[in-house]
Amino acid sequence: MADKASRSGLRYGAPEVLEYVARLHAPHDEALQRAFDAPEGNGMPPIQVGPSEGRLMHLLLCMAGAKRVVEIGALAGYSAIWLARALPEDGRLWSIEREPRHAAVARRNIEGAGLSRRVTVLEGEGLDILPKLEKEGPFDAVFIDADKGSYDRYGRWAAAHLRRGGLLLADNAFLFGQLMEDSAEARAVRRLHEEVGEFFETVCIGTGDGLLMGIRR
């Protein structure tokens, strides 16, 4: 039975199926496509969320009425564009990126999308930048997509600084299939999974590498 289910999952999740539904439900305009392609063109790792994950987060922020959002891990600004487009005109997204070169690419892509007034890209380590943002809270959503060894600490920060009903989103919740290994990164991501239930109503969505979602109690 498990083998049959596994084969079915592979069939239903075939690349042509995923491309078809993304094209219909999460289409790219010029700004999104430019940001999505930016890692390859700038020697950056192609590790941003996929189109459907970006669209999902966009819709979740719309449903939550989010206005003040923190993103930990900007890369080329692709996810920031999806998030920022869900915010009202007076909304704010603070996007943290530790690599200055990546931050510069993200700023160009965000500017190209016409979102510079709504998005601030901050350079530095997430754990160093987050305390400086606390005065801007409480926040409506926190998206984690940065160094996996700090996922548990990012989750604790989110629990402390999200409003009631606020959203926690964390990409790579399966840790590239290595979640159950005995590494520092795997232990940190597992701690995030294990701790969030104390403060959030949670689910782990079976996206390509897992998207952990929590609603702050």
Q: Of all residues in the chain, what percent carry a pLDDT higher than 70?
A: 94
Q: Are strands 139-144 and 68-72 parallel, antiparallel or unpaired?
A: parallel
CB contact at 8 A, 126 and 170: no
CB contact at 8 A, 57 and 63: no
Of the chain, the end-to-end C-alpha distance in Å amounts to: 38
From residue 55, give the alpha-carbon distance in Å to each of 12, 15, 29, 51, 129: 20, 18, 13, 6, 27
**Amino acid, res. 53:** E
| Residues of the domain holding 54 | 2-216
Give per-residue pLDDT as tens, 80-123.
Answer: 999 999 999 999 999 999 999 999 999 999 999 999 999 999 99
Give per-residue pLDDT as tens, 121-146.
Answer: 999 999 999 999 999 999 999 999 99
Give per-residue pLDDT as tens, 32-48.
Answer: 999 999 999 999 998 99
Quote the pLDDT of residue 15.
85
The count of structural domains within the chain is 1
Domain at 172, CATH number: 3.40.50.150
